[in-house]
Amino acid sequence: MANSHRSLDEAALWDQAIEIAENVSVLPGFKSISTGMNAGERFWRSLIDTLRIVEARGIDIFIDAGRLMVDDPRVVFIREAESVALFSANTLPAIASVHATLQHGDIVEGRDAGWLRTELEQIGHFDRLDLIMTNVNAPGNTYPARPAAKSLGVELLGSLPWNPRGAAQFTFDIPTTLPKRNAYVRALKSLVLSYSERLVGQVEDELSEEIER
């Protein structure tokens, strides 16, 4: 509504934000993917511009963009992001689906082939893409995270076990009877550490490039 009246500003964002911990807030998304896609590119561009103002105050912003596809208006997040984390299960169908977005003419052809790689290469930042693998205990063809990342041509940021009970405490704030140091929590902490190191390294590389110029 704010965007339709050309008043999508920082105050409008904070009005919708929900504080879930000290200095941590969540801005709820649309109820369905179709609603988000129909919001139009102008809405997402306005949202990005407003989030830049928030970021300038020293606030880190993480965006769960959900499933993206070619010509998706939300792809503006990919173009503007300092880091892009791609999630995939370790099953053959999931890896093949990701592969189709990153490689040209292998599984799919036409404009859909490798569209995500194309988007990032156009702005010179394919190196900002990392993979996070969910290790599903499923019958059939599953693959280790590191070889899968290598076949996709991206860096592996980390992996998480398939553990709905462990994840529920973070996703839905549901109390768990699992030990505090369960496998999911340990993997999550390791992933956060890896991501922090990745972002710090990226900032250092960018500063070095600026100095060399």
Task: Give residue-wise pLDDT tens across range 176-198.
Answer: 776 777 888 889 999 999 998 88
Distances (CA, A) of 5 to 43, 53, 169, 202: 11, 19, 38, 38
pLDDT at 94 (0 to 100): 92
Q: Where are the alpha helices (DSSP H) in 39-131?
A: 41-55, 76-80, 92-102, 115-122
Contact 142, 91 (CB under 8 A): yes
Residue 3 confidence (pLDDT): 47
pLDDT for residue 91 = 93
Question: Which residues are bridge partners to 85 per DSSP?
Answer: 130
- Which pLDDT does position 1 carry in this prediction? 45
124: left (phi over 0), alpha (psi -120 to 50) or beta: left
H/E run at residue 192: helix 183-212
Listed residue (34, 108, 109) closest to 72, CA to CA? 34
Q: Which residues of the chain have pLDDT under 70?
A: 1-7, 104-112, 178, 207, 209-210, 213
pTM (2 decimals)?
A: 0.81
